């Protein structure tokens, strides 16, 4: 597990693919929080549900790789939680998708909800798929590179819905490569990969000053600006180099 950064308030990691962020009913293997508790035992007791997900403010799907920020104390947790709720955290992802999008840069603004026929999955309202509990979902995207079968796309979610990027890409006809859940069992997939090729590349935010004090006393009006990046894992790197 690569630790990108750590101080008395924050821990930033590059999560590998194939590792769940925290435990659950059907999770038997070691999780991200298990690794974190071994190295940073002080996060025990931090968060809304510290017995399940200590320090975890946001999450990535098991097979999605990339940068995650974790709170190291309760005050930091509350600060980060507020930043995410107010959409003050900027996140950038990269994905290898099936095909070549005709529109090379744009905004996908399609509400996401639970599929009526399969409530365990998310979707957008379409003729053949109905949803319940639709909520606003907005994603900016830009095609970075194109090949014969795959494209490399940059994604910037402006909202934080579950599976948002995977659902939005499917909705415009370009599912994430190897994503059998939303792309179907016959989804395109480079032979080097066996998981959806989605990677959280970077995260940026201004950390609120109430974690520290100004020299004049009281809370600082603004905190320090942080920007963290995570390198793509080997399977993603091999696949993207073949997009020519």
Please identify every residue annotated as catalytic: 61
C-beta separation of 152 from 170 below 8 A:
no
Surface-to-core class of residue 68, CB atoms within 10 Å of its CB (0-12 exposed, 13-18 middle, 19+ buried): buried
Q: How is residue 210 annotated by DSSP?
A: G
3-state secondary structure of 61: coil
Question: What distance separates the 2 farthest-apart alpha carbons in the chain?
Answer: 62
* Dihedral angle sign, alpha carbons of residues 75, 77, 78, 80: positive
Residue 182: other Cβ atoms inside 10 A: 20
Alpha helices in the chain (DSSP H): 32-39, 74-85, 164-171, 180-183, 234-241
3-state secondary structure of 89: coil
């Amino acid at each position: 597990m690569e630790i990108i950064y750590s101080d008395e308030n924050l821990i930033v990691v590059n999560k590998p693919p194939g590792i769940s962020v925290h435990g659950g009913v059907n999770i038997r293997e070691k999780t991200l929080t298990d690794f974190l508790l071994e190295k940073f035992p002080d996060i025990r007791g931090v968060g809304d549900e510290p017995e399940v997900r200590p320090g975890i403010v946001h999450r990535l799907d098991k097979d999605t790789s990339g940068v995650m920020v974790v709170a190291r104390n309760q005050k930091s947790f509350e600060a980060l939680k507020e930043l995410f709720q107010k959409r003050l955290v900027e996140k950038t992802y990269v994905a290898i998708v099936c095909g070549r999008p005709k529109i090379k840069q744009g905004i996908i603004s399609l509400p996401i909800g639970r599929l009526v026929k399969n409530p365990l999955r998310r979707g957008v309202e379409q003729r053949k798929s109905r949803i319940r509990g639709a909520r606003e979902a907005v994603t900016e995207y830009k095609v970075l590179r194109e090949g014969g079968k795959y494209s490399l796309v940059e994604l910037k979610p402006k909202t934080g819905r579950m599976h948002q990027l995977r659902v939005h890409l499917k909705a415009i006809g370009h599912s994430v490569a190897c994503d059998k859940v939303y792309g179907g069992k016959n989804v395109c997939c480079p032979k080097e990969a066996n998981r959806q090729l989605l990677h959280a590349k970077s995260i940026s935010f201004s950390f609120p000053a109430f974690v520290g004090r100004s020299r004049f006393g009281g809370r600082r009006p603004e905190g320090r600006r942080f920007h963290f990046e995570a390198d793509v894992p080997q399977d993603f790197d091999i696949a993207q180099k073949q997009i020519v």
